[in-house]
Homo-oligomer: A and B are copies of this chain.
Amino acid sequence: MGSVYGKNIHVSIFGQSHSPAIGVVIDGLPAGFMPDMTALRAFMKRRAPGQSLLSTQRGESDLFEVLSGLSEGRLCGAPFAATIKNSDTRSGDYAGLKRTPRPGHADYPAQIKYRGAQDAAGGGHFSGRLTAALCLAGGLCMQLLASQGIQIAAHITQIADIFDEGFDPLAPDFAALQEGCLRVLNVEAGEAMAQAIDAARLAGDSLGGVVECAALHLPVGLGDPMFDGLENRISQAVFAIPAVKGIVFGSGFEAAGMRGSQHNDAYMVQNGKVRTSSNHHGGILGGLSTGMPLLLSVAFKPTSSIFLPQQTIDLDTLQPAPLTLTGRHDPCIVPRAVPCVEAATALALFDAYLDYHKEISYATE
C-alpha cells in the first residue's frame, strides 16, 4: 500500500511510468461544486514536462480524461476518477536497471521489496510521473479551497547556491510571483537559476533546490492535535513527491537557535482581527491554524538521474558495475515541483477543512 491519502476525502493514485495510463480516484468530494476544467488543465500544464530545455524532453501532454464523478459538469457525490494516458514511453531505455540499480533511485529497495516483480521501466510507480495524478487531485482541491476563500501558492527560493527571497511571512504577496520559466519573486534570481540549470544539463549533472509554499485566509482552528495536526497532514502529502528531503514550517531549523522571547509571536488586534506581530510559528500552533499565513518550505535533492558516469553494482553477481544513464531526465526537478507542493498542501488542507466544517456545524449545541 501507500498510494492512498486522506481521512475525509479519499485519494487513490495509480499508474506506473510506462503502464497504459496513470490516474486518480477521489472519493468524498462535495457534491454540487463545478470544477473549472480549463483552469485545472492550466494547472496541470505547470507540472507537465517538455515545456523548456529546463525539463525532461519526454513529450507528455498530461491531458486527463474524466471517467466518473461528474454530472452536467458538477461533482455529483460519486467518486471522481480521471486518467492520463502514457503515450511517449520508451521502455527500452530502462532495460537492465533491475540488475544495476541507479544510485539515488528506488530501484534497489524496490527490487528487494517486490522480489523482482516490480515494474522497473521508468521507475514504475516510483516515477515522478505519478505527480501528475497528485497535481490533478490537488488542483481540484485548490479550486474547492478557493471557493471557500483559501489561496495557496508556492515558488522557488533556492536552486543550487542561488537564492531568491521568501514570502513576507506576515503578508505573502501572490501577485508578485513571476509566471515565467521559473516561478520566483525576483526575475533576476529566476534568470540566474535558469542559467545554472542549463549549465548542469549541459554538464550531464543535476541540481536541487527549495520550494516555499503559503496558504492564506485559512479559518482559525483548522487541523487537529497530535497526529493530525496540519504539519503532520501536510508532511504526509508532501513527502509523496519524489526527491523531498525535508520540510519546515514557519521558522523551521532557525527556531533551534532562537530564544523564546524572540520566537514567540505576540498577539495583537488589527482591523478587528486577531493576528500576531511576527510569524515565526508559520500559521500553525498545536497543529491548528491560527489565521496567520501558513508557511512551509520543502527541500529537494538534485535529480538522481544524471548522465555522468556513476558507480553501482550488479545485483546478480554482486560485482561493481559502471553505469551511464540514457533516457530523458530533468536536470533539476524543482521548477516542476512547485505545483506539486501546492497540490500536496491543498490535499492536506482540504481534507482538514472537511473535518473543520463537520465540527463547526455542531457549534450551536
Contacts and interface: CB of A to CB of B under 8 A. Distances in A.
Contact of A259 (B200, B286, B310): B200
Nearest to A245: B255
A31 B359 contact: yes
A249 B242 CA distance: 13
A109 B286 contact: yes
Given A23-B81, A30-B365, A360-B361, 17 more contacts: A3-B79, A15-B81, A16-B69, A21-B81, A25-B25, A70-B119, A76-B114, A103-B266, A104-B264, A106-B285, A200-B259, A206-B261, A210-B253, A226-B240, A253-B299, A261-B310, A269-B313
Interface string A175-203: 00000000000000000000000001000
A248 to B, nearest CB: 3
Contacts of A229: 2, 239-240
Interface stretch (A45-53, A56-64, A166-174, A217-225): A217-225
A125 interface: yes
Q: How many copies does the complex hold?
A: 4
Contacts of A287: 2, 106, 126, 239
Interface in A320-355: 320, 354-355
Given A78-B14, A221-B112, A236-B236, A306 B228 contact: no
A315 B274 contact: yes
Interface residues of A, number: 162
Interface string A280-315: 111001111111000000011111111010111101
Given A125-B225, A227-B236, A210 B256 contact: yes
A151 interface: no
B227 A114 contact: no
A363 interface: yes
Contacts of A319: 269
Contacts of A290: 108-109
A258 to B, nearest CB: 6
A142 to B, nearest CB: 15
Contacts of A7: 1, 7
A290 to B, nearest CB: 5
B209 A256 contact: yes
Contacts of A357: 357-358, 361-362
A9 B14 CA distance: 14
Contacts of A245: 248-253, 255-256, 282
13 contacts: A2-B224, A16-B78, A23-B81, A71-B118, A78-B118, A108-B274, A206-B260, A232-B240, A246-B252, A255-B300, A256-B299, A260-B302, A263-B301
Contacts of A16: 68-69, 71, 76, 78
Contact of A20 (B12, B67, B80): B67
Contacts of A360: 361
Contacts of A208: 255-258, 263
